[in-house]
């Protein structure tokens, strides 16, 4: 397993500055956030010029892009596929093996979501990329059973495990071990169950990092553990020390 850092940890900075901070923290791998309303790379920029986007996400040999965290700027399936195809081409050119893309919101029909995700999986496979949907509250993956069902019904689909949402979301901390066979990427921070405790200082929450690493090892997981502490207004801590602390903790487990 390898420890990486998401550019979302430093979302208040421009992309080049966020990458420099991540490199200074001595991460070797980075997950790049791609969102139209974000401070970093935008889907429209990737569609416009894949080669230029590839140059923007590299700052030197010590830090390499290893995953993309994509949020499409449209609900239109055809336009979404166009954006996703461009990002997958960027991934192939940048030797990035995996793209995370959110599932549809809760309330969408499961059959329709299976059809939608099947389209995206087909696009990803043409470029040799793995597609993973994150386990996020408010989407169809907010409960482990539905997340697993999606993977079973969409051949080639994987999960980006974000255990915080299974602790603080509607799963309410219940067992989610049955998702591990489908996990191909991981987002980590520390989380409690109380109000306003989705992000707490490392060590003050309920995320069992050692158990997560152990369960992943059972299924021969050899991919990224990504520090994904969100850089949001009013965060109760300074981001750099928390990212460094979680980095050292994860490295001690792998």
How much is the pLDDT for 173? Answer: 85
pLDDT single digits (tens) 9-43? 999 999 999 999 999 999 999 999 999 998 899 99
- Its CATH class, for the domain covering 2-253, is alpha beta
- Contacts of 38 by beta carbon, 8 Å cutoff, 6+ apart: 8, 11, 71
Q: Give residue limits of the domains in the chain.
A: 2-253
Q: Please, what is the average pLDDT of the chain?
A: 94
How much is the pLDDT for 242? Answer: 95
- Identify the weakest region by mean pLDDT among 65-69, 91-95, 148-152, 172-176: 172-176
The better pLDDT of the pair 172, 87 is held by 87
Rounded Cα gap, residues 250 and 1, in angstroms? 10
pLDDT single digits (tens) 86-129? 999 999 999 999 999 999 999 899 999 999 999 999 999 999 99
Apex 214 CA angle, 132 and 9, nearest 5: 50
Report the DSSP beta bridge partners of residue 161: 186
* pTM for this predicted structure: 0.94
> 140: helix, coil or strand?
coil
The better pLDDT of the pair 197, 47 is held by 47
Instruction: Please give the DSSP secondary-structure letter assigned to residue 139.
Output: B
Chain Cα centroid distance, residue 190: 15
Rounded Cα gap, residues 164 and 136, in angstroms? 9
Rounded Cα gap, residues 148 and 161, in angstroms? 11
Rounded Cα gap, residues 198 and 182, in angstroms? 24
What mean pLDDT do residues 176-195 have? Answer: 94
């Amino acid at each position: 397993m390898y420890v990486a850092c998401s550019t979302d940890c430093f979302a208040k900075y421009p992309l080049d500055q966020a990458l420099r901070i991540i490199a200074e923290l001595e991460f070797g791998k980075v997950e790049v956030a791609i969102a139209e309303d974000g401070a970093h790379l935008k889907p429209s920029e990737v569609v416009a010029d894949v080669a230029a986007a590839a140059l923007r996400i590299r700052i030197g040999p010590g830090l390499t892009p290893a995953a993309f965290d994509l949020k499409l700027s449209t609900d239109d399936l055809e336009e979404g596929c166009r954006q996703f195809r461009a990002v997958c081409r960027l991934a192939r050119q940048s030797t990035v093996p995996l793209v995370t893309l959110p599932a549809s919101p809760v309330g969408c029909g499961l059959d329709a979501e299976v059809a939608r995700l099947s389209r995206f999986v087909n696009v990803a496979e043409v470029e040799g990329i793995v597609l993973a949907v994150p386990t996020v509250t408010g989407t169809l993956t907010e409960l482990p059973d539905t997340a697993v069902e999606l993977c079973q019904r969409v051949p080639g689909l994987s999960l980006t495990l974000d255990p915080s949402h299974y602790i603080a979301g509607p799963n309410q901390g219940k067992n989610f071990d049955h998702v591990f066979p489908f996990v191909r990427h991981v987002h980590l921070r520390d989380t409690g169950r109380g109000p306003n405790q989705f992000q707490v200082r490392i060590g003050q929450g309920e995320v069992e990092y050692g158990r997560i690493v152990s369960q992943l090892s059972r299924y021969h997981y050899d991919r990224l553990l990504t520090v994904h502490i969100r850089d949001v207004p009013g965060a109760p801590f300074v981001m750099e020390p928390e990212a460094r602390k979680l980095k050292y903790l994860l490295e001690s487990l792998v």
